[in-house]
Amino acid sequence: MKIKILNAIDKLCSIMAAHPVTNATTLDNLYSNATLLERAATFLATPHLAQPDEDIAQGVPYLYVGQGEAAYSFPRQHPLALVSDDATTCCIIILASASCFCLAHVDSPSQVQFLFAHWEASATHDPTATTVSVVGGYQDEDQTGHGIVTAILHAMQSTATCHYSVELWVNGVLNTIPPSEHAAHSLPRARGALCVPTADGLKVSAMDFASGTYRGPLFNQRMACVSASPLHVLKTDAPLEISLGPYTRSWLRLGAADIARYKWWIDQAPDTLFLRHWSTSPFAEGPKFVDDIKARFQVAIDLVGRESVVQLTQRYRYDPATKAWTIVV
């Protein structure tokens, strides 16, 4: 399956370097830069909703990157769009060099640190001159997003070998709808980003997935399992093939005695109670949050007594004929 972009490709944000990062760069510099402000406004003005069974950007295959995952794309060899959404307090980071780009969905400073170290150590490209785009995270009540964004700036300033330039900066105050008479709490403006390689360079668009949209093979299991590293890197090379696993364990370490309690959360808990109990931003989550977490609970229940399954590695390859990711036997 693929996704259709609802507006023409030339309406997407075309990425060009805007703000070189130095040791003197501050978050205030990035939030007040005129070019970044203009790009953020353009990005936020052209949101798109992904629907099942529709096409993405003139037939380019896509890979959905979930929370706690990262993936690389090599446009000159095997064009692949990378996309993620539901970044409420999380951030979606896009790193791009002359030959490839990487998209990651991070939810902690440790994942930020891992991502930049992985990017700089990769032997598949030259990361010396890297452009950075960040989407997601807002001025949430616990300042979770602020901690992640601060870690991103620190990572860009901590390298001895790479030169980073910020191209798109849609987070923090630039991504926050303040409280009003219509909403008592701050809300994020954008939660998702689609990065499409084109002949004119990378195009980045605001993107949200409709409920039921295909998010790649074993999506619920991927989200319900813990990787051995801070981020699970789905894809590092040019061919259109991804690796799922090995994972160390289920996200929830459930025993048989826990099943009834989590089945209650799945089958009977009101959404308002569910959000208060399981969300870091219960007033700001997207429409898929409750169903997604319930699906992860169900995976954890299904894995009780058989967690060794998640320690296996499964490979999937994109099949142009069927337009789907199929398992490699």
Determine, yes or no, domain membership for 224: no
E strands, 22-174, in order: 48-50, 62-64, 69-73, 81-84, 91-96, 101-106, 129-135, 163-170
pTM of this structure: 0.93
What is the pLDDT, as a whole number, of residue 326? 95
The CATH number of the domain where 167 resides is what? Answer: 3.30.1330.200
Determine, yes or no, domain membership for 222: no
Domain region containing 205? 9-216
Task: Quote the tokens at residue 84.
Answer: 């993620």
What is the pLDDT, as a whole number, of residue 6? 36
Task: Quote the tokens at residue 137.
Answer: 């995270």
Q: How many domains are there within the chain?
A: 1
pLDDT tens-digit readout, 95-116: 999 999 999 999 999 999 999 9
Determine, yes or no, domain membership for 254: no
pLDDT tens-digit readout, 197-209: 988 889 999 999 9
Q: What is the DSSP letter of 174?
A: G
The pLDDT averaged over each successive group of 10 residues in the chain (329 residues) is 38 59 97 96 88 59 96 95 95 96 98 97 88 95 91 95 95 94 89 91 91 91 94 96 93 94 98 96 94 97 87 92 87
Determine, yes or no, domain membership for 92: yes
How far apart CA 33 and CA 18 sit, in angstroms, is 9
Determine, yes or no, domain membership for 132: yes
- In order of 43, 95, 151, 171, 229, the CA distances from 284 in angstroms are 20, 27, 22, 14, 28
